[in-house]
Amino acid sequence: MNIFHHRFTQPSIWLLVLICFFTFFWRLGSVPLFDLDEGLYVSCSRQMVLSGDYITPRLNTHQSAPPYTSPTPFFEKPIMVYWLSAGAQRLLGVTEWAARLPVALLSLFTTLLVAYMGACWFGRRAGFLAGVLYAIAPMTIADSRQMTTDAILVFWFLLTFFAFTRLMGIGKIPELSSKQRWGYVALFWFGIASALLTKGAVAILLPGLIISIFLGMTTNGQGIKKWRQVWHRLNSLKIVFGVTFLFLLAAPWHLAIAQHAERDMDGRTFIQEYVIRQHIGRFRGGDKVHNAPPYTYIGYFLMGFFPWGSFAPVAFRRRLPTEVQDPQEADSHLFLLIWFWTIFVFFTLSAAKLPTYIVPIYPAAALLLGRWFNCSLEGGADRALLGGTFLAVFVTVGMRVLVERSPRFARPGNPIPIDILTLGRHATDILMVGSILACFCLLWLKRTHHARRLGIAIMAVTMFLFTGLFVTEGYAFLGRDVLGPYQRLAQRANTLAGQGTPVVYYQVDPRRPSMLYYATYAPYERKQRPLSPLLLPLLLQNPKTGVLVITKESEYNKHLLAEIGGQAELNMKLVAHDGVGQEGWVLAHITLKNGRL
Q: 3-state DSSP call for residue 570?
A: strand
Q: What is the rounded distance in angstroms from the CA atom of residue 477 to the CA atom of residue 423?
A: 8
Rounded average pLDDT over 133-158:
96
Strands 547-552 and 58-59: unpaired
351-362 pLDDT, tens per residue?
Answer: 778 889 999 999
Neighbours of 260 (CB within 10 A): 13
166 and 328 in contact (C-beta within 8 Å)? no
| 425 pLDDT above the threshold of 80 | yes
- Give the pLDDT band (50/70/90) at residue 6: very low
Rounded average pLDDT over 101-124:
94
Predicted pLDDT at 262: 80
The continuous run of DSSP H or E covering 551 comes out as: strand 547-552
The continuous run of DSSP H or E covering 394 comes out as: helix 382-405
Q: What is the rounded distance in angstroms from the CA atom of residue 195 to the CA atom of residue 152?
A: 8
Rounded average pLDDT over 254-268:
81
| 65 pLDDT above the threshold of 90 | no
Predicted pLDDT at 68: 59
Nearest to 238 by CA among 282, 195, 182, 283: 182
In one letter, which amino acid is 167?
L
14-26 pLDDT, tens per residue?
Answer: 899 999 999 999 9
Who wins on pLDDT, 519 or 443? 519
192 and 207 in contact (C-beta within 8 Å)? yes
Rounded average pLDDT over 41-63:
91
Who wins on pLDDT, 87 or 418? 87
From 136-150, 447-461, 463-477, the region with the lowest mean pLDDT:
447-461
Rounded average pLDDT over 402-420:
72
- Give the pLDDT band (50/70/90) at residue 175: confident
CB proximity list for 436: less than 8 A, separation 6 or greater: 393
Nearest to 572 by CA among 556, 554, 584: 556
**How far is residue 417 from each of residues 139, 422, 508, 527, measured CA to CA in Å?**
22, 9, 16, 22
- Give the pLDDT band (50/70/90) at residue 330: confident
The per-type count for the chain, helices as H runs and strands as E runs, is: 28, 7
Neighbours of 249 (CB within 10 A): 16
- Give the pLDDT band (50/70/90) at residue 135: very high
Q: 3-state DSSP call for residue 572?
A: strand
452 and 373 in contact (C-beta within 8 Å)? no
Who wins on pLDDT, 329 or 28? 28
Strands 72-73 and 503-506: unpaired
Question: Where exactly are the structural domains of the chain?
Answer: 106-306+336-378, 381-482, 488-592
The continuous run of DSSP H or E covering 588 comes out as: strand 585-592
In one letter, which amino acid is 148?
T
In one letter, which amino acid is 22?
F
For the chain, give the percent of residues with pLDDT over 70. Answer: 89
Q: What is the rounded distance in angstroms from the CA atom of residue 491 to the CA atom of residue 41?
A: 19
289-308 pLDDT, tens per residue?
Answer: 566 788 889 999 999 999 99
| 3 pLDDT above the threshold of 50 | no
Rounded average pLDDT over 459-479:
91
Q: What is the rounded distance in angstroms from the CA atom of residue 12 to the CA atom of residue 382?
A: 26
Predicted pLDDT at 449: 72
Phi-psi region of 27 (alpha: psi -120 to 50; beta: other; left: phi over 0): left
**Long-range contacts formed by 557-563: CB under 8 A, 24+ apart:** 559/507, 559/529, 559/530, 560/506, 560/531, 560/588, 563/530, 563/531, 563/532
| 182 pLDDT above the threshold of 90 | yes
Q: How wide is the angle at C-alpha 165 spanned by C-alphas 313 and 12, nearest 5°? A: 70
Q: What is the DSSP string of 110-151?
A: HHHHHHHHHHHHH-HHHHHHHHHHHHTSHHHHHHHTS--SHH
Burial 39-61 (b: 16+ CB within 10 A, else e): bbbbbbbbbbbeeeebebbbbbb
Rounded average pLDDT over 129-158:
96
Q: What is the rounded distance in angstroms from the CA atom of residue 237 to the CA atom of residue 232?
A: 10
Predicted pLDDT at 478: 87
Rounded average pLDDT over 256-268:
80
Ramachandran angles phi, psi of 499, nearest 5°: -95, 5
483-524 pLDDT, tens per residue?
Answer: 999 999 999 999 999 888 999 999 888 889 999 999 999 999
Rounded average pLDDT over 69-80:
84
Q: What is the rounded distance in angstroms from the CA atom of residue 517 to the CA atom of residue 45?
A: 9
Predicted pLDDT at 445: 63
Who wins on pLDDT, 175 or 125? 125
Q: What is the rounded distance in angstroms from the CA atom of residue 82 to the CA atom of residue 42?
A: 7
3 and 180 in contact (C-beta within 8 Å)? no
Q: How wide is the angle at C-alpha 586 spanned by C-alphas 545 and 540, nearest 5°? A: 25
Ramachandran angles phi, psi of 305, nearest 5°: -110, 30
Q: Give the start-end residues of each E strand in 444-523.
A: 503-506
290 and 353 in contact (C-beta within 8 Å)? yes
The pLDDT mean for the chain works out to: 86
Rounded average pLDDT over 397-418:
76
Predicted pLDDT at 321: 55
| 193 pLDDT above the threshold of 70 | yes
Predicted pLDDT at 2: 45
Predicted pLDDT at 568: 82
Q: What is the rounded distance in angstroms from the CA atom of residue 395 to the CA atom of residue 388?
A: 10
- Give the pLDDT band (50/70/90) at residue 315: confident
**How far is residue 401 from each of residues 324, 395, 421, 429, 432, measured CA to CA in Å?**
41, 10, 12, 11, 12
**How far is residue 498 from each of residues 492, 505, 516, 523, 550, measured CA to CA in Å?**
11, 16, 14, 12, 16
pTM, rounded to two decimals = 0.91
Rounded average pLDDT over 17-41:
94
CB proximity list for 226: less than 8 A, separation 6 or greater: 216, 219, 220
Predicted pLDDT at 464: 94
Q: What is the rounded distance in angstroms from the CA atom of residue 89 to the CA atom of residue 99?
A: 6
From 206-210, 369-373, 506-510, the region with the lowest mean pLDDT:
506-510
